[in-house]
Amino acid sequence: MNEMLEKRPDVFEDLYEDTVLAGFSKIDSVISGCWYTDDDESTIADLARSLGINLKFTSYTRYCVKE
């Protein structure tokens, strides 16, 4: 997993803190699906397979209110 973090740190980026720092006071996330690297044909999936790992990614939409 460390090698994945080194090569693609953006994959694990959590933007929730950035949303709070931007001044949004109400933040809701609605999960819209998920996908696994074993079932995908992306460069991230290729890297995960080469490292012998299967990652689960969750897709969601974030609704924010700035007061």
Given this model, what pLDDT does residue 34 score? Answer: 95
Rounded to whole angstroms, what are the CA distances from 31 to 3, 5, 11, 47, 56?
A: 28, 24, 17, 25, 13
Expressed as residue numbers, the domain containing 19 is 2-65
Given this model, what pLDDT does residue 57 score? Answer: 92
Could you give the number of structural domains in the chain? 1
CA distance 52 to 65: 40
Tokens representing 25 are 């006071």
Statement: residue 2 has pLDDT above 90:
no
> What is the radius of gyration, based on Cα positions, of the chain?
15
Statement: residue 50 has pLDDT above 90:
yes
